[in-house]
Amino acid sequence: MRFRDIRLDDLLRNKASFLGLVIIGILAFTAIAADFIAPYDPNKIELDEKLKPPSSEHIFGTDQLGRDQLSRVIHGTQTTFKLSLIIVTITASFGVFIGITAGYFGGFIDEILMRLIDVLLAFPSIILALVIIGSLGPGILNTVIAISLVGWLYYARVARASTLSIKEKEYIEGARAMGCSEMYICTHYILPNCLPPIIVLVTLNMGGVILTIASLGFLGLGAQPPTPEWGTMLNEGREFLRDCPWLSVVPGALIMISVLAFNFIGDGLRDILDPRQQVIK
């Protein structure tokens, strides 16, 4: 299965993936247009209005400082999507680069890189992120660093595995016979051919990254208040859970919906790319 064989209509035919795409579309639009859709300023404090239940004025109520929950959630979408896109871009490109290098050239470099990956994978992933936050301190930038340092491992493994099988193909031999440089072969033959599994991994990984960002925010180690971020909001709202459950329900529901949507798309893509799995399903 090649990259150009992933057709959008195959994906749209799968009901779950279609739903996933629609949800991500809506959330992505919300993230991009956050400044225009949000009815209020997400950081505007109005103590007279604090902890108001949902009403026509404030659809999701207001928080402990009287900030409009809907506006905060909308800007939270922006924070989360921006961070996860940055992280996935960094990790996927770095991981694929390392994976192709290791797989194509093999030998000593391959051995060293793969052992390094083995060691890093020996940690439960959130624990490794916590070590990094532990040494760098809490904050948004450190969240990105921590998750990225852990995240590239899987991409490197998948890219390496694909490269190992692709480099034995006849067209690579053909390219070499034509006098293509190693660099050209890697970027023009290996890279496009190892993309399909990487794309599946990207969609499935987006969900995981969103969850990790939210977890770190929830633990008070990620985005710091007053930044609107779902996990951080959930943590702030937890104190008022008994009387103001909407403060905890809304951000949590959004985390779940976005993770669910990415999982739906990822599952759909995997079915298209791996027909054997489809039979099993």
**Interacting residue with other proteins among 87, 98, 102, 133 (CB under 8 A):** 133
The reply on whether position 65 binds other proteins by CB under 8 A is no
The reply on whether position 120 binds other proteins by CB under 8 A is yes
Q: Which of 215, 214, 206, 213 is nearest to 261 (CA)?
A: 206
Size of the site for other proteins (CB under 8 A): 46
Q: Residue ranges of the alpha helices (H) in the chain? A: 8-13, 15-32, 34-37, 69-105, 107-120, 125-136, 140-166, 170-177, 182-185, 191-218, 230-238, 246-273, 275-280
For residue 261, the minimal CB distance to other proteins (Å) is 9
Considering only residues 220 to 239 of the shown chain, the ones binding other proteins according to CB under 8 A are 220-221, 234, 238
Q: What are phi and psi of 131, to 5 degrees?
A: -60, -45
The reply on whether position 114 binds other proteins by CB under 8 A is no
Signed CA dihedral, 60, 261, 27, 159: sign only? positive
Give 208-245 as a 3 state SS string.
HHHHHHHHHHHCCCCCCCCCCCHHHHHHHHHCCCCCCC
**Interacting residue with other proteins among 105, 161, 249, 274 (CB under 8 A):** 249
Report the distance separating Cα 199 and Cα 71, nearest Å.
32
The reply on whether position 119 binds other proteins by CB under 8 A is yes
The reply on whether position 95 binds other proteins by CB under 8 A is no
Angle at 132 between CA 127 and CA 134, to 5 degrees: 85
The reply on whether position 245 binds other proteins by CB under 8 A is yes
**Interacting residue with other proteins among 65, 215, 240, 274 (CB under 8 A):** 215
For residue 137, the minimal CB distance to other proteins (Å) is 7
Which C-beta is closer to other proteins: that of 102 or that of 191?
102
Site of interaction with other proteins (CB under 8 A)? 16, 115, 118-120, 122-127, 130-135, 137-138, 207, 211, 214-215, 218-221, 234, 238, 241-242, 245, 248-249, 252-253, 255-256, 259-260, 263-264, 267, 277, 280-281
